[in-house]
């Protein structure tokens, strides 16, 4: 096969035809060597993935057992696992396939289970029932998990792409003729289909914020536009990393995307990369000789010269080598995996991050997130007389979920304490009423969820948190200090649980719930300490 790679052209195509079995290319000549895909270097490139009989001389024998589109998770254990065994095992048990976090949090917020963790699983729809929560998952949420066949929703643009297993990420988007190629250079277009929903981090990263139709009545609509799937958005400040040309895979490692993630209940727990891994890495460095076995395939992708003395940074959480970061005496440089070229990584400044003991619990995102998408009103109603696509059964079935939302903001999010005791941004996971025939009546729920907004800025000033009722979770209104301490007058109406429409906590200790175990809003004592802190003018 080395000769094939060296000579290419017509000779290469002929050699491929001999090695693959002339019968495949006799009918599929257009799929001969027209791609740089390394899978074409296999001894039997057709049969290795498609599992057809490449030595058969006629149909239907040649197509017996054929997998037309290898990479869908229903066939991955046969088509992909022969070469990528660990990866397939990890993906099949991972969060992007099982959707454990999504299933369990939905059931928890509907009141169908006591905790936001459990046995919920979207894989092949095997464990979804017909309860109100599960019917919502079937009708609205389950389209994104990798076990779905690759399909488009509403548009041919990547933002409408769903499912596809291995192909969801590794199908080369730029293939225009010849055999579709697979690639490990996963572009952002492969992420946007699913990650522009829910937390909307793919949109936020690029500086796009969903708005409602009221925005069309603004005096200036120059920053408004429509996404290919029809959603109205506003252009806001993009993440600093996006401005530097970093793609999703420049930060997210193979281990936090592909696993193993079977032991994690939520996607945020499975994430490998942290800000300090690049900007303030204190971990012991490794050389190529110390390289983890499961990542050995990345050694040939390193974009700079490597010697026995070359050192690599590793992540704090899993010791994953950051193979595209070049460590140098004058600073570290990140080589961009998609756009190419390199950018200097600014080290964390001690001046702006003093070790004063007062901010030890703050995650970087608490002070370095410019904004986050927030929705402070939602009504969801199940209509048994309509029909809707069921993503688990893969058919149109009776019943449809219809929602109406309001109170959309794209601004600095409130802060709270996550399940690990850190101060992080939160957004309303839901402040909504739910109508379903199986419920005794409309059910009101108020939950906030931790989020990594992906809207990194250089940093907020002290007053942005210490003097902001929105940042503290009180909502919009007038905050003042009276004779008896701090007082707050909300500007939004009270809802049936007694809290203002946009509030998470109150100064007297009332609070909404969260979608993570042990997470919470600030207590009255914490609010008082934050508000009483002396800050520079």
pLDDT > 70: what percent of the chain?
Answer: 93
Tens-digit pLDDT profile for residues 259-281: 887 789 999 999 999 999 999 99
DSSP state of 127: T
- 432: pLDDT confidence band, cut at 50, 70 and 90? confident
CA quadruple 73, 74, 80, 81: dihedral, nearest 10: 100
Report residue 4's pLDDT band, with 50, 70 and 90 as the boundaries: very low
pLDDT band at 182 (very low <50, low <70, confident <90, very high): confident
Q: Model pTM?
A: 0.91
Is residue 207 classed as helix, strand or coil in its secondary structure? coil
Q: Residue 379: what are its φ and ψ, rounded to 5°? A: -125, 125
Lowest-pLDDT choice from 139-148, 240-249, 394-403, 471-480: 139-148
Q: What is the structure's pLDDT at 59?
A: 79
The Cα-based distances of 366 to 64, 323, 413, 417, 516 in angstroms read: 57, 28, 9, 10, 18
Is the pLDDT reported for residue 444 higher than 90? Answer: yes
Which pLDDT belongs to residue 35?
58
| In the predicted structure, residue 464 carries a pLDDT above the cut 80 | yes
Q: What is the mean pLDDT of residues 154-162?
A: 93
Which of 267, 264, 235 lies closest to 452 in space, CA to CA? 267
pLDDT tens digit sequence for 492-531: 999 999 999 999 999 999 999 999 999 999 999 999 999 9
What's residue 34's pLDDT? 55
* 153, 154, 380 from 400: Cα distances, Å: 17, 17, 10
Name the strand (E) or helix (H) holding 105: helix 100-109
pLDDT higher than 50, residue 428: yes
CB 416 within 8 A of CB 519: yes
Q: How far is CA 431 from CA 83, 201, 227, 500, in A?
A: 47, 20, 25, 11
Residue 126 contacts residue 103 (beta carbons within 8 Å)? no
pLDDT mean over 436-454: 95
- How far is the C-alpha of 68 from the C-alpha of 175, rounded, in Å? 17
Any idea where the domains of the chain sit in the sequence? Answer: 2-66, 88-243, 248-271+281-344, 364-532
What pLDDT, on the 0 to 100 scale, is given for residue 14? 33
Residues 6+ apart with CB under 8 A from 355: none
User: Given this model, what pLDDT does residue 2 score?
Assistant: 33
For the residues 378-382, what does the mean pLDDT come to?
95
Q: Is the pLDDT of residue 125 over 90?
A: no
Helix (H) or strand (E) holding 187: none
How confident is the model at residue 20, as a pLDDT? 40
Q: How much of the chain exceeds pLDDT 90, in percent?
A: 72
What the block records as the tokens of 80 is 């992909």
Q: Are the C-beta atoms of residues 165 and 67 closer than 8 Å to each other?
A: no
* CA torsion, ordered 99, 100, 103, 109, to nearest 10 deg: -130
Pick the residue with more confidence: 26 or 467?
Answer: 467
CA angle 34, 184, 246 (to 5 degrees): 120
State pLDDT tens for residues 10-34: 333 333 333 444 467 778 877 765 5
Mean pLDDT, rounded, of the chain = 90
């Amino acid at each position: 096969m080395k000769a094939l790679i060296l000579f290419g052209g017509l000779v290469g195509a002929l050699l491929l035809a001999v090695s693959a079995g002339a019968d495949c290319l006799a009918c599929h000549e257009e799929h001969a060597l027209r791609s740089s895909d390394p899978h074409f270097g296999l001894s039997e490139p057709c049969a290795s993935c498609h599992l057809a009989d490449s030595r058969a001389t006629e149909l239907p024998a040649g197509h017996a057992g054929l997998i037309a589109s290898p990479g869908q998770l229903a066939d991955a254990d046969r088509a992909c696992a022969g070469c990528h065994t660990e990866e397939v095992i990890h993906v099949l048990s991972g969060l992007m396939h099982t959707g454990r976090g999504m299933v369990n949090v939905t059931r928890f917020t509907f009141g169908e289970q006591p905790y936001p963790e459990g046995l919920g699983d979207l894989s092949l729809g095997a464990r979804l029932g017909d309860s109100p929560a599960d019917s919502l998952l079937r009708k609205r949420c389950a389209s994104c998990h990798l076990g779905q066949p690759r399909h488009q929703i509403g548009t041919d643009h990547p933002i409408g792409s769903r499912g596809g297993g291995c192909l969801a990420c590794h199908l080369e988007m730029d293939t225009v003729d010849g055999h579709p190629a697979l690639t490990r250079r996963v572009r952002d277009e492969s992420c946007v289909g699913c990650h522009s929903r829910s937390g909307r981090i793919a949109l936020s990263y690029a500086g796009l914020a969903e708005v409602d139709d009221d925005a069309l009545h603004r005096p200036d609509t120059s920053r408004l536009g429509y996404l290919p799937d029809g959603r109205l958005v506003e252009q806001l400040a993009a993440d600093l990393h996006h401005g530097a040309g970093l793609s999703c895979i420049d930060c997210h490692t193979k281990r936090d995307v592909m696993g193993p993630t079977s032991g994690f209940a939520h996607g945020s727990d499975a994430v490998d990369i942290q800000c300090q891994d690049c900007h303030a890495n204190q971990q012991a460095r490794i050389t190529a000789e110390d390289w983890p076995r499961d990542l050995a395939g990345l050694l040939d992708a390193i974009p700079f010269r490597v010697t026995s003395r070359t050192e690599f940074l590793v992540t704090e959480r899993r010791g994953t080598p950051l193979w595209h970061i070049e460590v140098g005496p004058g600073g570290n440089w990140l080589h961009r995996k998609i756009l190419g070229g390199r950018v200097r990584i600014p080290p964390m400044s001690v001046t702006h991050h003093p070790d004063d003991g007062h901010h030890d619990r703050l995650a970087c995102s608490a002070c370095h997130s410019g904004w986050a998408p927030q929705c402070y009103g939602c009504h969801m109603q199940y209509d048994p007389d309509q029909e809707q696509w069921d993503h688990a059964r893969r058919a149109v079935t009776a019943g449809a979920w219809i929602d109406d939302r309001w109170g959309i903001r794209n601004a600095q999010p409130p802060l709270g304490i996550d399940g690990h005791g850190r101060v992080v941004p939160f957004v309303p996971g839901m402040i909504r009423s739910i109508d379903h025939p199986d419920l005794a009546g409309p059910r009101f729920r108020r939950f906030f969820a931790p989020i990594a907004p992906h809207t990194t800025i250089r940093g907020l000033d002290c007053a942005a948190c210490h003097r902001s009722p929105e940042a503290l979770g009180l909502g919009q209104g007038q905050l003042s200090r009276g004779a008896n301490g701090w007082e707050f007058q909300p500007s939004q109406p009270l809802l049936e649980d007694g809290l203002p429409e946009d509030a998470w906590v109150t100064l007297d200790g009332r609070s909404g719930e969260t979608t993570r175990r042990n997470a919470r809003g600030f207590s009255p004592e914490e609010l008082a300490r934050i508000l009483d802190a002396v800050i520079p003018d």
